[in-house]
Amino acid sequence: MQTAATKLIVSNRKARHEYQVLDTWEAGLVLLGTEVKSLRQGKANLQDAFARFDRGELWLHNLHISPYEQGNQFNHDPLRPRKLLLNRRELRKLVGQVEQKGLTLVPLDLHFRRGVAKVNLALARGKKLHDKREDVKRRDAEREIARGYKND
């Protein structure tokens, strides 16, 4: 859902296949200057990224932001953990669900909203192999039905 004020940087297409999304949140990111410049060029990878609580704060791990070409000595570590910004009420709610129910936090996409980098986080449960097969069957059936309507 990209609006005029939102510019998509990168999305994690595999996340919806691997996980059953229960709820989503939009969180801000604490970034360095060279990381923002690199994101504006679209050089990021969310493939293996995940969020984890550490000492009451939420951190995004394994988000790969390539070093900025003109960054010189001010460049950053591409895989460093980045702090996520949510309000205290949302954090408390997430802590309870992640620790008690055994759910995980997976980033769905990374985007700019009014010039500020944001990440859409999903509270998700991992899918089993048979769940993935059922999803593929359902999608194929919907595609066949759509083709049937198109040909009529």
Q: Residue 23 is encoded by which pair of tokens?
A: 């709820």
Is the pLDDT at 2 greater than 70? The verdict is no
| pLDDT computed for residue 125 by the predictor | 83
Domains in the chain (CATH in brackets) are 7-126 (2.40.280.10)
Query: If pLDDT is split at 50, 70 and 90, which confidence band does 3 have?
Result: low
Helix H or strand E segment including 115: none
Long-range contacts of 123-126 (CB under 8 A, 24+ apart): 123/21, 123/22, 123/23, 123/24, 123/25, 123/94, 123/97, 123/98, 124/15, 124/19, 124/20, 124/21, 124/22, 125/19, 125/20, 125/22, 126/18, 126/19, 126/20
Is the pLDDT at 100 greater than 60? The verdict is yes
Is the pLDDT at 4 greater than 70? The verdict is no
Read off the pLDDT of residues 14-60 as tens digits, 9 standing for 90 and up: 888 788 888 888 999 998 888 888 888 888 888 888 888 888 888 98
